Structure 1
Amino acid sequence: MAAEYYNYIDGEWTESDETFETANPAAPSETVATYHEADVDDATAAVEAASAAEDEWANTPAPQRGAILREAATILADRKDEITDLLIAEEGKTQAEAGGEVQRAIDIFYYYAEKTRDMGGSVKSASGPRTNLYTKNEPVGVAALITPWNYPIAIPAWKVAPALATGNTLVLKPAKVAPGVALEIFKALDEAGLPDGVANVVVGPGSTVGNELVVHDDVDAVSFTGSGQVGHMIYDKATDDGKRVQTELGGKNPTVVSDTADVEEAAGIIANGAFGTTGQSCTATSRAVVHTDVYDEFVDAIVAEAESIEIGPGEDSDMGPQVNERELEGTLDYIEVAENEGATLATGGGQPDEFDEGHFVEPTVFTDVDNDYRIAQEEVFGPVLAVIEVEDFEEALETANDVDYGLSSSIVTNDHTEAERFVDEIEAGVAKINDKTTGLELHVPFGGFKQSSSETWREQGDAGIDFYTIEKTVYDSF
Structure 2
Amino acid sequence: MTYQERISPVDGSVTWRGTFAEPQQVSLSIERGVHAMASWKGVAPEVRAGVCKRFAERLRIHARAIASMISTEMGKPYWEAESEVAAAASKVEHTLDALRSRRSIWSDENAVSESVVRFHPIGLMAVLGPFNLPLHLPGAHIVPALLMGNGVLFKPSEKAPGVGDWIQRAWDEAGLPVGVLQTLHGGAEVARQIVNSTSLDGVCFTGSYRVGAELHRMLAGRPECMLALEMGGNNPLIVDRVSNLTAALHVLIASCFITSGQRCTCARRLIVLDNAPNRDLMRRFAESIPDIRVGLPFDTPGPFMGPLVSTEAVRAVLAAEERLETMGAVPHVRCQQFTSHPNLLGPGVWEVSGEGVEDQEVFGPVATIEYVNDWDEAIASSNRTRYGLSAGLISDSREHFDRFVNEVRAGILNWNSPTTGATGKLPFGGLGSSGNHRSSGYFAIDYCSDPIASVQSPVLTQPPQLPQGLDLVFGNFRDGK
1:16-165 to 2 correspondence within 5 Å?
17-27=1-11, 29-113=12-96, 119-126=103-110, 129-165=111-147
Give deviations 1:39-84, integer Å, cap 9, x for gaps. 2222212111110112211111111001111111111110000111
Are the aligned partners of 2:135 and 2:164 in contact in 1 as well (CA < 8 Å)? yes
Runs of 5+ consecutive residues of structure 1 not aligned to the other structure: 1-16
TM, length-normalised to structure 1: 0.92
Are the aligned partners of 2:16 and 2:161 in contact in 1 as well (CA < 8 Å)? no
Give deviations 1:285-333, integer Å, cap 9, x for gaps. 1111001104421221111232211111011212101000111100010
Would you say 1:224 and 2:205 are equivalent positions?
Answer: yes
Residue of structure 2 aligned with 1:343, choices 323, 329, 332: 329
Residue of structure 1 aligned with 2:195, choices 214, 220, 233: 214
TM, length-normalised to structure 2: 0.91
User: How many angstroms does 1:352 deviate by?
Assistant: 2.3
Would you say 1:381 and 2:367 are equivalent positions?
Answer: no
User: How many angstroms does 1:259 deviate by?
Assistant: 2.9
- Paired with 1:439 and 1:25, the residues of 2 have a C-alpha distance of 26
* Inter-CA distance 257–98: structure 2 relative to 1 (3 Å threshold): same
- Which position in structure 2 is the counterpart of 1:459? 440
SS at match of 1:240: coil
User: How many angstroms does 1:103 deviate by?
Assistant: 1.0
Give deviations 1:207-254, integer Å, cap 9, x for gaps. x21011111011011111111111011012224222111101020111
Moved more, 185-194 or 262-271: 262-271
Are the aligned partners of 1:62 and 1:116 in contact in 2 as well (CA < 8 Å)? no
| Corresponding letter in the other structure for 1:382 | G
* Inter-CA distance 115–66: structure 2 relative to 1 (3 Å threshold): farther
Are the aligned partners of 1:430 and 1:448 in contact in 2 as well (CA < 8 Å)? yes
Would you say 1:240 and 2:240 are equivalent positions?
Answer: no
- Which position in structure 1 is the counterpart of 2:162? 180
Would you say 1:447 and 2:429 are equivalent positions?
Answer: yes
* Inter-CA distance 314–369: structure 2 relative to 1 (3 Å threshold): farther
- Paired with 1:465 and 1:166, the residues of 2 have a C-alpha distance of 8
* Inter-CA distance 260–114: structure 2 relative to 1 (3 Å threshold): closer
Paired residue total:
452
Rg: which structure is higher?
2
- Which position in structure 1 is the counterpart of 2:305? 319
- Paired with 1:414 and 1:439, the residues of 2 have a C-alpha distance of 19
- Paired with 2:182 and 2:357, the residues of 1 have a C-alpha distance of 43
Runs of 5+ consecutive residues of structure 2 not aligned to the other structure: 459-481
- Which position in structure 2 is the counterpart of 1:363? 347
1:255-274 to 2 correspondence within 5 Å?
255-260=237-242, 262-274=244-256
Give RMSD over aligned pairs: 1.5
Would you say 1:476 and 2:456 are equivalent positions?
Answer: yes
| Corresponding letter in the other structure for 2:293 | E
- Paired with 1:289 and 1:112, the residues of 2 have a C-alpha distance of 35
